Amino acid sequence: MDYQSITHISLVVAGFLALAMMLRYDMVMLQQKGYSNKKFMQSLHSSDETYSGKRIVPMAALVACASTYARESWMVVALITIAVLALAITVMFSKKAKTQKLSLRGIVTILIVLAVVAACAASLFTAKFTLEAGMLVLLFTSFSYVLLLGTNWIVGLFSKKTNNNTQSINQDEEI
């Protein structure tokens, strides 16, 4: 295996780590808003979180990966990987992400998003588009809140259905 392949794989792994940390951070905020997508989006816009440094770093790394320098030199991809790892470590140790534990719904939502992203990246990876797989993960990291909102909506549909079934069972038991 050559240096270029190793750095591309490292970029994918660093991107997944950053994505997991961003999803955890976003999920804590969503959980504080009672899993309401509308309240969460209002909170993001009011706090200017949609274009904070946590969102710009993966986007800048994505643009840097698209350059001809990244395609020709493994050292450029290695530097980009280090920047993405620094982002993941910064988000991991942020105070806001540590203040609240995730609920089961939050953990399930994060796992669903990571599984979908892993499937997309794996399909690119098997087609020998290793740098593009890393770029895809960086794109998802930049817009992690959008993935989280969509998955929260889907999980919410199933949880409402389950809650309605539980309520009807409880009403049947009372009769």
Read off the pLDDT of residues 95-125 as tens digits, 9 standing for 90 and up.
665 556 788 888 888 898 999 999 999 898 8
Q: Which residues contact 137 (CB under 8 A, 6 or more apart)?
A: 11, 12, 15, 16, 19, 117, 121
pLDDT tens sequence across 6-23: 999 999 999 999 999 999
Task: Count up the domains in the chain and report the number.
Answer: 1
pLDDT tens sequence across 13-67: 999 999 999 998 888 888 888 888 899 888 888 887 767 778 888 999 999 998 8
DSSP SS3 for 107: helix
Domain residues for the domain of 152 are 3-174
DSSP SS3 for 35: coil
Q: Answer whether 141's CB lies under 8 Å from 52's CB.
A: no
